[in-house]
Amino acid sequence: METILLFLSSLLVCVAAVTDPNAQDGKDGKKVENPFVYDYDSLRIGGLAFAVVLFTLGILLILSRRCRCSINQKPRAPGDEEAQEENLIVSKAAAAAKETPAEN
Amino acid sequence: MGYGRSDSYRVATTQDKDEKESPKKKGGKDLDDLKKEVPITEHKMSVEEVCRKYNTDIVQGLTNAKAAEYLARDGPNALTPPPTTPEWVKFCRQLFGGFSILLWIGAILCFLAYAIQAATEDEPAGDNLYLGIVLSAVVIITGCFSYFQEAKSSKIMESFKNMVPQQALVIREGEKMQINAEQVVAGDLVEVKGGDRIPADLRIISSHGCKVDNSSLTGESEPQTRSPDCTHDNPLETRNIAFFSTNCVEGTARGIVVCTGDRTVMGRIATLTSGLETGKTPIAKEIEHFIHIITGVAVFLGVTFFILSLILGYSWLEAVIFLIGIIVANVPEGLLATVTVCLTLTAKRMARKNCLVKNLEAVETLGSTSTICSDKTGTLTQNRMTVAHMWFDNQIHEADTTEDQSGSSFDKSSTTWVSLARIAALCNRAVFKAGQESLPILKREVAGDASESALLKCIEDKNKKVAEIPFNSTNKYQSDKHYLLVMKGAPERILDRCSTIMMQGKEQPMDDEMKEAFQNAYLELGGLGERVLGFCHLFMPEDKYPKGFAFDTDDVNFQTDNLCFVGLMSMIDPPRAAVPDAVGKCRSAGIKVIMVTGDHPITAKAIAKGVGIISEGNETVEDIAARLNIPVSQVNPRDAKACVIHGTDLKDLTQEQMDDILRNHTEIVFARTSPQQKLIIVEGCQRQVLYSHANNQNPKLCGLLFCQGAIVAVTGDGVNDSPALKKADIGVAMGISGSDVSKQAADMILLDDNFASIVTGVEEGRLIFDNLKKSIAYTLTSNIPEITPFLFFIMVNIPLPLGTITILCIDLGTDMVPAISLAYEAAESDIMKRQPRNPLRDKLVNERLISIAYGQIGMIQALGGFFAYFVIMAENGFLPSVLVGIRLNWDDRSTNDLEDSYGQQWTYEQRKIVEFTCHTAFFVSIVVVQWADVIICKTRRNSVFQQGMKNKILIFGLFEETALAAFLSYCPGMDVALRMYPLKPSWWFCAFPYSFLIFVYDEIRKLILRRNPGGWVEKETYY
């Protein structure tokens, strides 16, 4: 899971790096001519792209958990629900094993 | 056995109740009447007297005309369903209950402020109107959401209802007729047979081997014999009364109906149950406490700044609008939705683990529970008799009692076992129902007596009966050559008839040594609370009893003594497999588990020992007395940790003695308790906490101060548990074996009847309580950066740094997902090793939480926001020095030449664009500092590095809130719609240092907190 996370965050940095220069470029280009005019259009596009990328990343993150579950089956699933359910089953079995001696 | 003869005790509690409830409605009187014992007297009358009383005939039954008349007088023979709350009332409860009320007040204040503005100004700002509308919308939407959530679980409830109409066989005018059970009236002559449900309370007038299963009423696992004679003063104990809605397991009986519908014993319990008032759930109390705190803070801030603004020279009306504005700004708009969603998520998670929660708020209750009162039959045990032990060949053998046959079996090779099994099979009228060959033996359904079914399942019947002549408990069977006489019955009776005993398949004379061995085995098995049966047989000599010998059972013409004793078999209703482990887990979680049962003390104690309610090595007063060989009265009760209390003793106890018992014994079993006594035990448990946690103070004083004490959970399945289930803070019913009445009364239903699910409930409850704290801390923190701009706007007259719309975008937009994601946070430490929270001390929201959220983190966040605000203003030419005091000119529409620090002139519209860009930047800054906030809120004590970032939903939340912030800022058209403007990338980074500061600050705080447990930092900042 950590690797996926690392990958996602590095992707995020990349995206940020890509979008920022875009916006910066526009700004720098105009700045020479007139410091009071700002290229808000490319800023808007860059910002929106940034938002969309983040949004998809988030969705992917959620979906990645589901997919991993179904592929790797339950045992390795990181979700705490599954883990607890497992514990419960184990404890039940343990109790069943323990119960007979406890009878007398 | 004074089962429920507790009138004297009842009087005491009745008075107590009166005091409490006297200011309430008159309905309390009826309830007290119901709390008293059953008024049936017919069991003491002769059959003729009963007939006379009901104008009926013992042979002919009622006439049709009379029956119709009685039906019109008494109404149908059915339980009145508990008054159902109309759907709209349920909906309104969701709309106006608890937290919603805070938002409604906020909305009303907003509308009020707008009205004032509309009346005084020509062009009122729409902010307050919008805010009011949004607040109302939030409450309505959340209300609908939780309404539908609860409607869903109530639908599952309805599916439990058994819709099959019951039939009854009555005799009217001498004719037998099958009628709907609802038509049965008092005085009717009714016939019941094995398998029937008793249609009403019956006075038995004749019976043939009739046995009824009273377990849902009294908790006795064994079927009870019914006969026409009065055997006990107490109607519940006597054998000649059969009760409504219990089951007749075998035999036939004829009886006269004495009570119908709500007047039956069952009906009274059901009415008592639906009449009980239940208190608020712990979480509802916590939310109320939270509302008090938050209202206090809001009013304090509001009034302070109201006075300040008056001093500063604002007009009255302006000051009032400020006052309202500040109060409303304190309302955490998103919290209602957050709390509801968090609880729903937990409820869903629990439903997946087979805990169905009927009421959302009950999700948390198990987590706060400090005492669990558990019924025995059907909850802790499997509610089926099973052969547990056998004694033959002078040795006790242990049978497998687990539900799934996973336990070990004993040695079946001995020939004595073959004989024993043959006798058990022959002396048996129980048979497996047809068509179950594929099922394992234990799962198959059996028709017949519970103890005979147990034997049948144990021996796996293979023999074929050739003939059967009933003779009480003696049966004779023909084998190929000669007759075999087999007998089973009470062990001492059987022994009296025996002169030899079978050892390893050979007959040996019964000597004193063997008799003593038998006595020891009998006592040992009896001491385990098991029902013991003796078995013997005799090969009848062929010369005396040739083929076709006419056995006469009335005038015994054959040998019934000098038999050969074969062995003993003992039966018990064994505990469920998962229970001992679950009880152990509850123990280690600091929860006291008490057994409250209607069954006999010996059985109850045996099961309690089996499941660990009385742990190994702990003795009762009686045990100590037996060990030391001294009378019970000489034992110091304080020495015994465990105790078994009989229902008859319970009725003589005063409230103080009761409290004393509950306080001083950690392991308690209540046996032979009536439903009413169960109720009293629950009330006793609920009084507990005030002593145990405040014992250094005067107990009386504490009693006055905190009338609500421990949080008590009750588990049960029978009708007799339902009053206690309702009275408890959380009632847990069994989904499969539970009765309808108990499911109605409960707050939570274990769909798989597995007591271990309670442990899940406790775990989830504790987790959600901790996580709600975190969610609330997170949500409240952003309140400060939302309020301070308005305060500065009033106090130092700067252009408004953050507007209403942006505040709403934070509360209902960006903050939502991270706040909800905290509900998915894993526990910081082993929550099942912790003591249950003290409801008086450990609050959901306390001053420390407010101090952290408002006073520390919130202040840093506000700094971050203001920094971004001043940076943007300065970049546009307005240095902070000009900003102060500029407000009146800034907001003046007619001023279109306002000069900044550099002498540039700004029109009104230009200024507003700068102002709204500042709003957007302030908003984005709050998002940035909330990143750090959600990460520090993940833990209350541990470092984030210990906790890890395993919570995917939280990371998702971080991404989504940032994406939303970027979207709101950059999406074309937002400048018109929400007045939000695109930000230069560098402005996003203004709040970064503050975000970092928050993280470092809180990590250091938590480090000190961990390093120095119990120190100043923990006392002042651990929420």
Q: Is residue B349 part of a domain?
A: no
Of A47, A57, A92, the CB nearest to B959: A57
Same domain, B953 and B830: yes
- Domain match, B419 and B459 both: yes
Nearest CB among B579, B610, B963 relative to A103 is that of B610
pLDDT of residue B436: 65
Position A69 pLDDT exceeds 60: no
Residue B564 backbone dihedrals phi, psi, to 5 degrees: -110, 120
Number of domains composing chain B: 4
Integer Cα distance of B673 and B716 in angstroms: 13
**Inter-axis angle of helices B335-352 and B127-160, to 10 degrees?**
20
* Chain B nearest CA to A29, separation (Å): 15
Residues of B annotated as part of the active site = 375
Q: Has residue A85 got a pLDDT over 70?
A: no
pLDDT the model gives residue B390: 85
Using the Cβ of A71 and the Cβ atoms of chain B, whether some distance falls under 8 Å is answered with no
CB B735 within 8 A of CB B752: yes
Residue to test with chain A: of B349, B573, B960, most A Cβ within 10 A: B960
Whether residue B960 lies within 8 A of chain A, CB to CB, comes out as yes
pLDDT at A87: 41
pLDDT at B419: 80
Taking the C-alpha atoms of residue B1023 and residue B1017, their distance in angstroms, rounded to an integer, is: 11
Interface membership of B953 toward A (CB under 8 Å): yes
Residue of B nearest to A96 (CA): B577
What CATH number has the domain bearing residue B967? 1.20.1110.10
**Quick one: B294 and B372 in the same domain?**
no
Statement to judge: residues B736 and B780 lie in one domain: no
In a domain? residue B86:
no
Q: What is the pLDDT of residue B641?
A: 83
Q: Are residues B236 and B360 in the same domain?
A: no
Look at residue A94 in the predicted model and tell me its pLDDT.
Answer: 42
Residues of chain B with pLDDT under 70: 1-38, 159-165, 401-412, 433-450, 459-482, 547-548, 550-556, 689-708
Alpha carbons B996 and A18: distance in angstroms, whole number: 24
Is B144 within the bounds of a domain?
no
Partners of A51 on chain B (C-beta within 8 Å) are 962-964, 966-967, 970-971
The radius of gyration of chain B from alpha carbons, rounded to an integer in Å, stands at 37
Residues 137-166, chain B, touching A (beta carbon < 8 A) = none
Query: Do the domain assignments include residue B142?
Result: no
Do B937 and B871 lie in one domain? The reply is yes
CB within 8 A of B637, min separation 6: which ones? Answer: B621, B643, B664
Which residues make Cβ contacts (< 8 Å) with residue B221, sequence separation at least 6?
B215, B377, B381, B383, B384, B385, B450, B573, B599, B603
In B777-935 the beta strands, taken as DSSP E runs, fall at: 898-899, 905-906
Q: Which amino acid is at B825?
A: E
Q: What is the domain range of residue B297?
A: 284-341+762-1021
Task: Assess if residue B121 is contained within a domain.
Answer: no
Residues B251 and B288 in one domain: no
Q: Which two tokens stand for residue B725?
A: 């289930």
**Residue B197: phi, psi to the nearest 5?**
-95, 135
Minimal CA separation from B971 to chain A, in Å: 6
Spell out the residues 6+ positions from residue A13 whose beta carbon is closer than 8 angstroms to its own.
Answer: none
**Angle in degrees, CA B74, B77, B82, rounded to 5:** 100
DSSP B558-608: S--SSEEEEEEEEEE-PBPTTHHHHHHHHHHTT-EEEEE-SS-HHHHHHHH
- CATH number of the domain to which B414 belongs: 3.40.1110.10
State the pLDDT at residue A13.
59
pTM score: 0.80
Same domain as B296, residue B362: no
Contact B688, B614 (CB under 8 A): no
Residue B72 maps to a domain = no
In a domain, B475, yes or no: yes
In contact, B309 and B317? CB cutoff 8 Å: no
Rounded to a whole number of angstroms, the distance from the CA of B860 to the nearest CA of chain A is: 26
Per-residue H/E/C for B63-105: CHHHHHHHHHHHCCCCCCCCCCCCHHHHHHHHHHCCCHHHHHH
- CATH code (residue B55): 2.70.150.10
Quote the pLDDT of residue B956.
93
Q: Which residue of A has its CA nearest to B985?
A: A20
Cα–Cα distance measured from residue B203 to residue B184, given in angstroms and rounded to the nearest whole number:
14
Q: Domain check: are B269 and B293 in the same one?
A: no
Residues 1-30 of A with CB under 8 A from B: 1, 5, 20, 23-24, 27
- Residues of chain A with Cβ-Cβ distance to B400 below 8 Å are 100
Task: Choose among B574, B824, B970: nearest Cβ to A47.
Answer: B970
Contact B959 A102 (CB under 8 A): no
* In a domain? residue B917: yes
- Where among B242, B275, B308 does a domain terminate? B275
Q: Residue A54's pLDDT is what?
A: 93
- Sort B759 into a burial class: Cβ within 10 Å, 0-12 / 13-18 / 19+: buried
User: Chain A contact for B262, CB < 8 A?
Assistant: no
**B323/B438 same-domain check:** no
Chain B stretch 526-585, residues whose beta carbon is closer than 8 A to a beta carbon of chain A: 528, 574-575, 577-582, 585
> Of the candidates B699, B729, B753, which is a domain's last residue?
B753
Same domain, B902 and B985: yes
Mean pLDDT for all residues in chain A: 59
Å from A65 to nearest chain B CA? 8
Q: What length is written for chain B?
A: 1023
CA distance B992 to B1000: 12
Residue B802 near residue B916, CB atoms below 8 Å: no
Q: Are strands B241-242 and B201-213 parallel, antiparallel or unpaired?
A: antiparallel
One domain, residues B802 and B944 = yes
Q: Output the domain CATH number for residue B672.
A: 3.40.50.1000
- Closest chain B C-alpha to A99 CA, distance in angstroms: 6
- Determine whether the interchain pair A52/B959 forms a contact, defined as Cβ–Cβ distance below 8 Å: no
